[in-house]
Structure 1
Amino acid sequence: MVMERAPDWLRQELVTLAWCWRLARRDGVTIGLTSHDRDLAVGGLLYRAAPGMKPSALETSDSLDASTMDIEGAVTSDAIAARDLDAGRWDGAELELFVTDWSAPDGAPVTVARGSLGTIERRGAAFAVELQGVTRLLDRPVCPATSPSCRATLGDRACRVDLAPRTHMRRVTTVDGRMVTLDAPAPEIAFGELMWMEGGNCGLASPVIAAEGTVLHLAEVPPFASSGPVRVRLTEGCDKQLATCRDRFANAVNFRGEAHLPGNDLLTRYPGG
């Protein structure tokens, strides 16, 4: 087994190390944080000084066990705001942890771990989050389980329905709990998605469970209050039934379910019932 040679700055008698975190959210926002007491520019990204950030002990091995690591830090308004944590904006964010020479940050850094953020726990003015390693991907099922409804998501690679003509721009005029009112009706939006394009909820997605004209019933109350009309993007939904896939989308050939597979109720039926 050939081991990669450590850089010269890491083998000095007196090292000048700085931990760096590169965080990329699902909405495209990317930030950098460093344990150094001054900001560092590494790879074209400015890493803000966050001395309160610290990782737990990290153990690496060549086994396939799913490795995790806890990261703790302070909630700051500039980098990781409490309201963004509560709204779920950081859920599933990709993280890269590396060390660099703070006296010469342009040098090649040494990657220590990479993965995605797991459960985030708030502790007053601080937070703790678990970093899930890439080996967690091996826990996924090898093959899908049978189901009477479609296992695909409308518009994904398995479904193949073009969502471009099924995406609509509207404005939300009022918000009352889980109910929002649009400036105009949107077709077939039940089981679809509402993406906030403006306001405090900008970048967050809200599942739609029902629609009555211009009134939509969301799965949950939006995290932040909205004042005045705000732009939203509506994506049509699907109830994942074979009849809908066939009649509405003409896409039965890509239906990912077993609609005619007998269920457990077949064992309880009486002859002639």
Structure 2
Amino acid sequence: MSWLEEDVTTLAICWRVERRDGVGLGLTAHDRDLVIEGNVYRAAPGMTPSAIRRGDASAADTMDVTGALTSGAITEADLVAGRWDGARVAVFAVDWTDTANRVPLGGGTIGAVETANGGFTAELRGPGAALDAAGCETTSAECRADLGDPRCRVAMAGRCRIVRVTAADEEVLTVDSAEPVANGWGGGRLRWLDGANSGMEEVIAASSGTEVMLAAIPRFAVAADDRAELVEGCDKSIATCAARFANAANFRGEPYLPGIDLLTRYGAS
């Protein structure tokens, strides 16, 4: 007889959460910690799942999970800053008397997060949520690929650099290394390697010499000597693609396609 069919229930719900920066966390709805395959699943903060809502093949599977905010595990500052956005989640039921007995219940990524009254509620979006994305791309004058991705194919070796912040004024950073070319970091990414923002990424709006302007103010205060990885960017124009990267053959845009303003271009003729 299966352990799920016994008269006395020994079932506990567990969650394995892995953030995009590699941090992993095990949680359980049981009243004490559980050790499963060498990983500790903490009973605090307690996690209370809703029912899993499953639809037909074209609908997204969703679940809400509610828990307490604690300084050691999940903090309000980290949730608001987005550290848990897009984190991968695996949900399973386990026999707490014999953790080798497990039943997978689902998985996905963390979507919308709300905080209130010392607790939080997070939406877990299943694989079916990917069906909500657009089925095809729309035409654009700018390239739709990201620099270095499989469609762009520009080699990124040598286009990343580790720098140290020497000064910070809101979204403007001064670093100890100059850009490789004019506005070389513009459109690229910055990933914090240490400091209060460690593991988080920023979009770079523009750069000039040793100054880097971010698209938004970092979530936490930046201190002098904080290290970051800068990844070169691209303004996604055909001119830059051809002249700077010699990659016009892989340009993913339609710069010469007539737009809706075609008729109005000749109004003065």
Q: Quickly name the TM-score band, shorter chain normalised.
A: over 0.9
2:103 corresponds to which of 84, 102, 110:
110
Aligned CA RMSD, in angstroms, stands at 1.6
How far apart are the structure 2 equivalents of 1:211 and 1:256? 24
1:135 corresponds to which of 128, 136, 150:
128
SS at match of 1:243: helix
75-84 or 30-39: which moved more?
A: 75-84
Residues 63 and 211 (structure 1), Cα distance of their counterparts in 2 relative to 1, 3 Å cut: closer
Q: What number of residue pairs does the alignment pair up?
A: 266
How far apart are 1:89 and its partner, in Å?
0.7
1:242 is matched with which residue? Answer: 238
The answer as to whether partners of 2:45 and 2:73 remain within 8 angstroms in 1 is no
SS at match of 1:232: strand
How far apart are 1:58 and its partner, in Å?
2.0
181-190 or 234-243: which moved more?
A: 181-190
* Percent identical residues: 48
How far apart are the structure 2 equivalents of 1:151 and 1:59? 34
1:23 is matched with which residue? Answer: 17
How far apart are 1:28 and its partner, in Å?
1.2
Alpha-carbon displacement from aligned partner over 1:106-135 (angstroms, at most 9, x marks no partner): 22x111121111011111311111111111
The answer as to whether partners of 1:90 and 1:117 remain within 8 angstroms in 2 is yes
The answer as to whether partners of 2:28 and 2:46 remain within 8 angstroms in 1 is no
1:199 is matched with which residue? Answer: 195
1:170 corresponds to which of 147, 160, 163:
163
How far apart are the structure 1 equivalents of 2:57 and 2:188? 41
Alpha-carbon displacement from aligned partner over 1:160-192 (angstroms, at most 9, x marks no partner): 111121111110012111111112212211111
SS at match of 1:96: strand
Residues 185 and 74 (structure 1), Cα distance of their counterparts in 2 relative to 1, 3 Å cut: same
How far apart are 1:95 and its partner, in Å?
0.7
**Is the aligned partner of 1:263 residue 2:259?**
yes
How far apart are the structure 1 equivalents of 2:255 and 2:215? 26
How far apart are the structure 2 equivalents of 1:185 and 1:165? 14
How far apart are the structure 1 equivalents of 2:31 and 2:229? 41
- Structure 1 segment 28-177 matched on structure 2, within 5 A: 28-50=22-44, 52-107=46-101, 109-177=102-170
How far apart are the structure 2 equivalents of 1:205 and 1:51? 27
177-186 or 254-263: which moved more?
A: 177-186
How far apart are the structure 2 equivalents of 1:148 and 1:61? 38
How far apart are the structure 2 equivalents of 1:244 and 1:88? 32
Structure 1 counterpart of 2:204, one-letter code: V
The answer as to whether partners of 2:45 and 2:69 remain within 8 angstroms in 1 is no
SS at match of 1:264: coil
Deviation >6 Å, runs of 4+: none
Alpha-carbon displacement from aligned partner over 1:219-257 (angstroms, at most 9, x marks no partner): 111111133312111101000000111110011111001
1:189 corresponds to which of 181, 185, 188:
185
| Structure 1: tracts of 5 or more residues without a match | 1-6
SS at match of 1:253: helix
The answer as to whether partners of 2:168 and 2:224 remain within 8 angstroms in 1 is no
What's the TM-score, normalizing by structure 1? Answer: 0.92
How far apart are 1:62 and its partner, in Å?
4.7
How far apart are the structure 1 equivalents of 2:46 and 2:261? 57
How far apart are the structure 1 equivalents of 2:201 and 2:105? 32
The answer as to whether partners of 1:37 and 1:51 remain within 8 angstroms in 2 is no
SS at match of 1:73: strand
